[in-house]
Amino acid sequence: MDPKPFAKLLRPWIWCCLALVCGFWFCWWGCKWSSPPTIVWIVRHAEKGADPGTGDPPLAANGVIRAAELARMLEHCGVQAVYATQFQRTQQTVAPTASQAGVTPTLVQANDVASLVASIRSNDRGKVVLVAAHSNTAPQIVDELSGVVVPAIDDATEFDNLYEVVLPRCGKPRVQHLKYGAPSP
| pLDDT recorded at residue 170 | 86
| pLDDT recorded at residue 14 | 65
Strands (E), 16-90: 38-44, 81-85
| pLDDT tens per residue across span 96-114 | 999 999 999 999 999 999 9
Rounded to 5°, the CA angle 185-62-144 comes to: 70
Q: Are residues 61 and 27 in the same domain?
A: no
Establish if 185 belongs to a structural domain: no
Question: Which residue numbers in the chain have pLDDT < 50?
Answer: none
Q: What are the backbone dihedrals phi and psi of residue 82, each rounded to the nearest 5 degrees, phi first?
A: -135, 135
Q: Which residues contact 63 (CB under 8 A, 6 or more apart)?
A: 45, 46, 47, 48, 49, 89, 92, 93, 159
| pLDDT recorded at residue 184 | 86
| pLDDT recorded at residue 35 | 81
| pLDDT recorded at residue 185 | 79
Give the distance from CA 75 to its chain's centroid: 16
Q: Are residues 6 and 71 in the same domain?
A: no
| pLDDT recorded at residue 119 | 98
Q: Are residues 6 and 16 in the same domain?
A: yes
Q: Are residues 100 and 126 in the same domain?
A: yes
Instruction: Indicate the residue type of 127.
Output: K
Q: What are the backbone dihedrals phi and psi of residue 108, each rounded to the nearest 5 degrees, phi first?
A: -130, 160
| pLDDT tens per residue across span 32-58 | 556 899 999 999 999 999 999 999 999
Q: Are residues 49 and 18 in the same domain?
A: no
Residue 28 sits in which domain range? 1-34
Structural domains in the chain (count) = 2
Q: Are residues 16 and 51 in the same domain?
A: no
